Structure 1
Amino acid sequence: MGFRRRIADLWQPWQTDHALLAIPLGLIVAITVVDVLVPGDIHLGPLLIVAPAITPWFAGPWLTGLVGALAVVAQAIIAVLRDPNELFSTNHQVQIAALALLSLVIVIFSRQREHRMRQLEQVRSVSEATQRVVLPPLPHRLGPLRIASAYRAADDEALIGGDLYAATRTGNGARLLIGDVRGKGMTAISDASVIMGSFRDAAHRSATLAELAGVLEESICRHLVEHAPHSEADELYEQFVTVLMLDIPDEDPVARMINCGHPPPLLLHKHHVTALYPRHTEPPLGMCDLPRTGLTIDPLVFEGDDTLLLYTDGIIEARSSDGTFYPLAERVAQWTDSGPEALLDHIRTDLTAYVGGQLNDDAAAVAIQRSPRLAPGHQLRKMVHLTGSPDHAD
């Protein structure tokens, strides 16, 4: 079965390429026939160079060379059919030599292009492997949670950037993280990998979200100092990571959240969308010179069939052609009945249309839906009013 599949995979592009080969071959035949039929003072033979010139767009150097050779033969046929003696005339000799030389140049170009394409495929393969290591896809299930994630880098050729997310099981619950590193490029990817690596290691060992946030803060500060030892203090101060962390128990509908400078998540509850703003705005991680007086943990009600939407500012700061920001909460209100995967598909399609296809910043989103089941006889012990003053947790 695997052998047949490999043959089918090879056969499909071979069929496509050889179907397109009819275009340059058809041009050679058409130019040859027309050149022979038109009056003798009209010479269309030089147009034969078009055939090998377009072939590298869909074929390799061997087929390009074949088309070039056929074009040279066609030029000779034109000379013979017009007048056998013209084949050895200076005019036709120059035309044939020029066509052969240009075809050779095109074949060399095609070979170099194929070599570059192979290099690009290798780079893309490494990039995909890096993505799987640095930013692996989130599991579709974590206990009673259904999860979907989406990532879109601002650079079309890039697969990852400075946005990040991670999720893991912790005994009788799950912990999730979403963040956004300031800046772009390899530096942002390096900072993001430090945060996610620290999260995966410490999420199981930290008793509370506050302890976990402290570990992440220590890791990113140490990383910034070690990898920018010669930077000015102001430059270090400008490197930071906004982070949102959630602690979601399996059987308790009261989840806990720490928000360090990140956009507030959206809670989709019974056709209503609510932005979960923290009681106290915490500074982002990595601002190592700023003293922290403690981290505020916000409890929130997350019941069965509810959905939490986590996202980065690349989504809400995306602009339309008239400069208007993308109204995420307003758009999401249309899709409150959607599952996590469908919700992110709606957002991805709508956002692409809203900005005209190109984002100016990396964008990531995670949708989390709780299954409609809790422990039998469980009663909600805490009611958290999002607009009021929730009780402390942890």
Structure 2
Amino acid sequence: MRSQMVLRRLPFVVMGLVALVDVLVGPSLGFLPLLTLGPTFASVSGSVRRTAAVGALAVTICIPLAAYSHLLGKPQNNLTIATIAGITCASMLASWLRTRRERELANVRMVAEAAQRVLLRPVPRRAGELRIALSYTSAAAEAQIGGDLYEVVTTPDGVRLLIGDVQGKGLEAVETAAWVLGAFRESAYDQPELLGVAERLETSLARHLGGEKFVTAILAEVRGDDILLLNCGHPAPVVLSQDGEVRHAEPPEEGAPLGLGQLGLSLPKPYHVPFAHGDQILFYTDGVIEARNRDGEFYPLEERTHLLLGPDPQEALDQLRADLLHHVGGPVPDDAAMLLLRRHGA
């Protein structure tokens, strides 16, 4: 990368400038202590050995410059050399700590990538007449997984999918997401009805969740010319009809999130939404619609749905994600997952 190349050259450029200025100004002003900038900058991107070599080069430059200014052997120059040596040793320690931290971070990333492959497997891009696109943006800068979850499976009963959001953040949320995904992947093939799948998820969460923790989710099943939805307290998906109409697929009645069955709350009932050839439906988590810009304005998802009209579903969804990040002006404050289903003509 260009930035890495600049950082590698920076110590030599700085020491060259210090030497040039010292020669031009003369002994009236002492610029030689600024040679310590060389090993200091070297520790930012270089190894311990490279930092030591830059420090040795700084001492090598300092000696002839001191002789040129008639300072060689004087206490002032001896203190400068000692300062360069001390800063070099400190920079070598900083470089060692930095490289160790980078190795630890690389290991953490490898673990996160492995967890992502297990938990959030790549969804199929095609399933019969459906074209599927996915976008997932984690709120954690160094993480690729979080509390949002998704899955798409093709079963004898049709294409079934799940998108959800676990209450909370961190490793505990990831663990809960793992339980939900595991239960869905098993029950999606075993249960003939979508409500049965939701009941299996509720049973699984009842064994593992405590207190008042919950998971908002939508389960969906594509059959015939419509799509069956079961909304457990999740934001309603957006349907884009072939004729240009945009509407929210709101449930007939508000449903309780998964995991609250122990409080006496029953699961919601499935409902049908027309999903004809040429239609699209966008599932998303609340990290999308609750993303704010610097003025505190929420992301206007419904006004941006025209970005999904491109010929390729994944490219269209990538444009929507880029527009979301542009609206926020930086990292998203919460995990943001989007799943787009497009039904092609027969």
Q: 1:40 corresponds to which letter in structure 2?
A: P
Secondary structure in structure 2 of the residue aligned to 1:204:
helix
2:11 aligned residue: 24
Contact 1:268 1:336 in 2 (8 A): no
Q: CA–CA distance in 2 between the matches of 1:293 and 1:221?
A: 13
C-alpha change, 1:145 and 1:193, in structure 2 (3 Å) is same
1:256 matches 2:228: yes
Aligned residue among 311, 325, 330 for 2:284: 311
2:146 aligned residue: 161
1:246 matches 2:220: yes
Aligned residue among 201, 217, 220 for 2:186: 201
Secondary structure in structure 1 of the residue aligned to 2:234:
coil
Contact 1:272 1:336 in 2 (8 A): no
Structure 1, gaps ≥5 residues long? 1-12, 229-235, 374-394
Q: Return 150-159 or 66-75, whichever deviates more.
A: 150-159
Shift of 1:293: 5.2
Q: 2:320 corresponds to which letter in structure 1?
A: I
Contact 1:260 1:284 in 2 (8 A): yes
C-alpha change, 1:342 and 1:114, in structure 2 (3 Å) is same
Q: CA–CA distance in 2 between the matches of 1:31 and 1:281?
A: 70
C-alpha change, 1:356 and 1:45, in structure 2 (3 Å) is same
1:114-153 residue pairs with structure 2 within 5 A? 114-153=99-138
> Residue deviations 1:23-43, cap 9 Å, x none?
322322332233133232211
Q: What is the number of residues matched between the two proteins?
A: 345
C-alpha change, 1:217 and 1:32, in structure 2 (3 Å) is same
Q: Return 143-152 or 331-340, whichever deviates more.
A: 331-340
Contact 1:150 1:364 in 2 (8 A): yes
C-alpha change, 1:334 and 1:27, in structure 2 (3 Å) is closer
1:71 aligned residue: 58
1:109 aligned residue: 94
Secondary structure in structure 1 of the residue aligned to 2:333:
coil
Secondary structure in structure 2 of the residue aligned to 1:128:
helix
Q: 1:263 corresponds to which letter in structure 2?
A: P
Shift of 1:99: 0.8
C-alpha change, 1:209 and 1:27, in structure 2 (3 Å) is same
Secondary structure in structure 1 of the residue aligned to 2:261:
coil
Report the RMSD for the aligned CA atoms in angstroms. Answer: 1.9
Q: CA–CA distance in 2 between the matches of 1:27 and 1:291?
A: 70
> Residue deviations 1:213-253, cap 9 Å, x none?
110110011111xxx4xxxxxxx12x11111011113xx21
Shift of 1:257: 1.1
Q: Return 340-349 or 255-264, whichever deviates more.
A: 340-349
Contact 1:304 1:372 in 2 (8 A): yes
Q: CA–CA distance in 2 between the matches of 1:368 and 1:35?
A: 67
1:183-194 residue pairs with structure 2 within 5 A? 183-194=168-179
C-alpha change, 1:121 and 1:372, in structure 2 (3 Å) is same
1:360 aligned residue: 333
C-alpha change, 1:23 and 1:139, in structure 2 (3 Å) is same
Q: CA–CA distance in 1 between the matches of 2:345 and 2:43?
A: 57
2:35 aligned residue: 48
> Residue deviations 1:336-367, cap 9 Å, x none?
34532123212211111212223222111100
Contact 2:11 2:54 in 1 (8 A): yes
Q: 1:103 corresponds to which letter in structure 2?
A: T
Q: 2:251 corresponds to which letter in structure 1?
A: P
Contact 1:154 1:361 in 2 (8 A): yes
Contact 1:143 1:173 in 2 (8 A): no
Q: Return 191-200 or 167-176, whichever deviates more.
A: 167-176
Q: CA–CA distance in 1 between the matches of 2:83 and 2:54?
A: 15
Aligned residue among 247, 264, 268 for 2:240: 268
Shift of 1:52: 1.4
Secondary structure in structure 1 of the residue aligned to 2:186:
helix
C-alpha change, 1:264 and 1:17, in structure 2 (3 Å) is closer
Q: CA–CA distance in 1 between the matches of 2:157 and 2:214?
A: 31
TM-score (norm 2): 0.94
1:343 matches 2:316: yes
Q: CA–CA distance in 1 between the matches of 2:8 and 2:263?
A: 65
Shift of 1:16: 7.5
Secondary structure in structure 1 of the residue aligned to 2:72:
helix
C-alpha change, 1:280 and 1:96, in structure 2 (3 Å) is same
Structure 2, gaps ≥5 residues long? none
